[in-house]
Amino acid sequence: MMYFLIRRTVGFIATLIAVSIVVFAVMNILPGDPALTILGMDATDDALAALREDLGLNEPLLARYFGWVAGALTGDFGLSHSFRVPVSELISERLAMTISLAVAGMLLTLLIALSVGIYAASRHGKAGDWVTMFISQLGIAVPAFWLSILLVLLFAVNLRWLPPGGFPGWSEPVAAMRSLILPTVALALVQSAVLARVTRSSALEVMRQDFTRTARASGLSQRRILWRHVLPNALVPIVTIVGMQFAALVTGTIVIENVFYLPGLGRLIFQSIANRDLPTVQALVMLFAIIVVTANFVVDLLYVLIDPRLKARA
Amino acid sequence: MMHVQKSLKFAAFALALGLSATAASSADLVIGMQQEPTSLDPTADATASIDAMMTMNVYEALTIIAENGEVQPNLATAWKVSDDGLTYTFTLAEGVKFHDGTTLDAQDVIFSFERAMAEDSVNPSKDIFKPIESVTALDAGTIEIKLKNKDAFFLFNMGQGDSAIVGAESVATNNAKPVGTGPFKFDSWTRGDRLTLVKNPDYRDADAVALDKVTFRFISDPAAATAAMMAEELDAFPGFPAPELLEQFEADPRFRVNQGNTEGEVILAMNNAKPPFDNVEVRRAVSMAINRDEIIDGAMYGKATPIGSFYPPHGKAYVDLTGVYPPDTAKAKAMFEAEGVAGQTMTLRVPPFPYAMRSAEIIQAQLADAGIDAKVENVEWGFWIDEIYKKHNYDMTIIAHTSPNDMGNFARGPKYFYGYDDPKMTALWESISTEADPEKRNALLKEGQELLTEQAVHGFLFQLPLLGVFRNEVQGYWTSAPVLYTPLKGVSNG
């Protein structure tokens, strides 16, 4: 176990270093100049030169990179080129929004997918199975932004039950929750369609095994068999997919935040790339990388919890 | 029974969540904006939405441009121009206070100009300060500006956001907490979501300000913008991003759709420095291959005015040159063949604006009919401004030039991305920009338009319209935009 943890930590750090180098290189190779983006088409050459000096763009590439690394190690991610405020401030004011959305989306995904998947497995080959699997197939095919627009048209424009977008902040908890309902549903429906299918096939596999038949033979109720015996044994592939989906959910918020004009990290990274705002992009990509790597790490730990046989191998 | 209980529970739940719509106070106005800026200082960042929200609302300048394009008094209540046109004496409004409580005086004006003109200035339109020789205070309320050479657009330029008068005490934080002298004070900015202004009770003409609170909400997606208007989350969307979605607002009695003018000429720019577009006959053939009416119908849903040169149709010096190169595919094809460029492949690199991307597709088809294979490359803005604008790495592109009085672009020589270098045009612009008499200047501007058309420097397409959606209750909004700002002073909501 100790060896496993050390190996993972080393991998974690190596991933972050690789990501930081790639982002730095890509942002510098990509055509575009932050000073020109800020000052626009009428800017004079001396104004551009003054701004470049001001932003520290005249320093050599390597010096800038190591300067950034040194700052990042002490928790200082520098000043945003375009906003001219500390990057940490930009991220912290938006983090709550994106995390709330991703976590709510994940919970709703699990709720829908596990119920639908187990239900479909229990109705294997019957109408209920066909109908739910048909709907989930549709769910996989529908793009999240399109579903979002449909949800907005129905619940915000026609019925006027929920706001069409925006986020008032957690200082108004009721309004904040209301404004997260539609984005969460839009995010979760598409994700849960994938997960429901995995849940169903994994459950079906387990249901064919001897211990399920034994449980049934010993007179346990169908519900008890499904939730106490089938689901726990079907969890390994489900958890694998959930781990991948959490990463997809975090990145999926970029699209959802645009459609619902939510002030989250997704919109920030979008805007920062357009503005060639290297310090902000760098910090955000690192953050996303940390989230994804952590999610994978948690999945690995969960495997061990779910299936004690893996402990020996780990 | 079970069902009744459930629906009662749901109703109670719905009430608790406040699901019923609430009407906002009529002294509040919520405005939708497509573009969110990253800074709020128009003297240090060219982003158009800074001017749209801040200029003449939070910040003010010596002069102000009226809806019809006329220069009017603002922080300068009056001015005198010397007979040689080189000395301007401005009288400042009395008792004006910045929003942080400091008093505006001649020193603030000098500070603002010196900051814009300094060597390390990052003013996005530093060129407009170039003619200035000196700025001095005759007394606390009088400013004298001496010019090196006559500048016909000087008073107009003093009414742009780049010339906003800022306070020395607050300028360092204007990017995030703007402080000006205008009718509205900055209240808050939740980046990514909204920006709020409140009425400035100390404004010198506070009675003329109808609104107590103005909220800008940033919605970039056209479908989301439509939904937000339809759900009445917004009162106005003055720069509506999608002409194709306007029909449903026109059909809805709650809303009013406005189609007004801007100073934005949309052009199919050709790289005049590079073959084959260094050949005027090839440029003329392109002008003939394109059909403006088809472009306007297809790309703008008919909501735009065609242009035949580089000057807005609502301007006083406008001359209609749209008939000089009538669309004629066969003739264009023959001309391309005669010049030996038929069948050539060229790139059409397009920035990410709907008017440009849609026009590009139609122009591509029109050029194909005339025997030219134009490859459309959609690029993002950071790429465009670096590769096309700065490095001139393109054959053709589509762009709107939104600045007023910008015919001078054609006098910038080979350094500018047009690659157009014509001593005749350079001399002409020199006389236009120094001609103080409006009649004579307009005659010269007509000459300029004719020269640009005769040389077919670019494909001149259409004037970018100002398309806006408003709830009927919203009154007093400008219908046209001679500058990048819209004063909210005269706007009311019901």
CATH number of the domain that A181 lies in?
1.10.3720.10
B273/B64 Cα distance (integer angstroms): 38
Same domain? A115 vs A156: yes
Chain-chain contact of A30 with B221 (C-beta, under 8 angstroms): no
Q: Which of A49-63, A210-224, B118-132 has the lowest mean pLDDT?
A: A210-224
Task: Pick the residue of A28, A29, A30, A38 with the most B CBs within 10 A to test the interface with B by mutation.
Answer: A38
Chain-chain contact of B382 with A31 (C-beta, under 8 angstroms): yes
Q: What is the pLDDT of residue B399?
A: 96
Tell me the domain boundaries of chain B. Answer: 262-466
CATH class of this structure's domain B262-466: alpha beta
**What mean pLDDT is predicted for residues A24-40?**
87
Q: How far off is chain B from A279, nearest CA to CA, in Å?
A: 14
Same domain? A69 vs A97: no
B230/B247 Cα distance (integer angstroms): 13
User: Residue A161 is part of which domain span?
Assistant: 91-313
Chain-chain contact of A31 with B386 (C-beta, under 8 angstroms): yes
Chain-chain contact of B224 with A260 (C-beta, under 8 angstroms): yes
Same domain? A50 vs A105: no
Residue type, A188: A
Distinct helix (H) and strand (E) counts, chain B: 13, 19
Q: Count how many residues are written for chain B.
A: 494
Residue burial B195-218, b: 16+ Cβ < 10 Å; e: rest: bbbbbbeebeeeeebbbbbbbbbb
CA torsion through residues A83, A85, A86, A91, sign: negative
pLDDT band for position B92 (cuts 50, 70, 90):
very high
User: Per residue in B449-484, pLDDT tens?
Assistant: 999 999 999 999 999 999 999 999 999 999 988 999
Continuous segment of H or E residues that includes residue A76: none
Domain assignment of residue A85, yes or no: no
Contact criterion met (CB below 8 Å) for A121 and A230: yes
Same domain? A160 vs A269: yes
Q: What is the pLDDT of residue A174?
A: 93
Q: Looking at beta carbons, which residues of chain B come within 8 Å of A29?
A: none
User: Per residue in A210-234, pLDDT tens?
Assistant: 888 888 888 888 888 888 888 888 8
Same domain? A151 vs A206: yes
Same domain? A137 vs A270: yes
Domain assignment of residue A109, yes or no: yes
Q: What is the pLDDT of residue B436?
A: 84
Contact criterion met (CB below 8 Å) for B285 and B369: no
Nearest by CB to A47, from B38, B123, B192: name it.
B123
Domain assignment of residue A84, yes or no: no
pLDDT band for position A313 (cuts 50, 70, 90):
low
Work out the widest C-alpha separation in chain B, in whole angstroms.
91
Contact criterion met (CB below 8 Å) for B222 and A195: no
Looking only at the bridges linking them, the beta strands covering B236-237 and B492-493 are unpaired
The neighbouring-strand residues paired with B259 are B467
Domain assignment of residue A86, yes or no: no
Domain assignment of residue A211, yes or no: yes
Contact criterion met (CB below 8 Å) for B300 and B243: yes
Chain-chain contact of A41 with B385 (C-beta, under 8 angstroms): yes
Confirm or reject contact between B191 and chain A (CB < 8 A): yes
Q: How far off is chain B from A180, nearest CA to CA, in Å?
A: 13
B178/B182 Cα distance (integer angstroms): 11
Nearest by CB to A93, from B123, B191, B223: name it.
B191
Cα dist. A246→A195, A281, A290, A296 in Å? Answer: 11, 21, 12, 9
Same domain? A250 vs A166: yes
Q: Looking at beta carbons, which residues of chain B come within 8 Å of A93?
A: 190-191
B252/B230 Cα distance (integer angstroms): 9
User: Per residue in A71-114, pLDDT tens?
Assistant: 988 889 999 999 999 999 999 999 988 988 999 999 999 999 99
Cα dist. B192→A133, A266, B48, B72, B242 in Å? Answer: 38, 10, 17, 35, 21
User: Per residue in B209-218, pLDDT tens?
Assistant: 999 999 999 9
Domain tally, chain A: 2
Q: How far off is chain A from B405, nearest CA to CA, in Å?
A: 12
Same domain? A68 vs A95: no
Q: How far off is chain B from A194, nearest CA to CA, in Å?
A: 26
The neighbouring-strand residues paired with A215 are none
Confirm or reject contact between B230 and chain A (CB < 8 A): yes
Same domain? A101 vs A63: no
**What mean pLDDT is predicted for residues A164-179?**
90
Nearest by CB to B121, from A47, A261, A277: name it.
A47
User: Per residue in A128-169, pLDDT tens?
Assistant: 899 988 988 888 888 888 899 999 999 999 999 999 999 888
Domain assignment of residue A83, yes or no: no
Q: Looking at beta carbons, which residues of chain B come within 8 Å of A157?
A: 227, 230-231
Residue A217 CA, distance from chain mean position: 43
Confirm or reject contact between B365 and chain A (CB < 8 A): no
Domain assignment of residue A105, yes or no: yes
Of A73, A104, A134, the domain-final residue: A73
Q: pTM of the full predicted structure?
A: 0.89
**What mean pLDDT is predicted for residues A260-264?**
92
Q: What is the pLDDT of residue A228?
A: 85
Residue B71 CA, distance from chain mean position: 17
**Phi-psi category of A102—alpha, beta or left, where left has phi over 0 and alpha has psi -120 to 50?**
alpha
**What mean pLDDT is predicted for residues B184-207?**
95
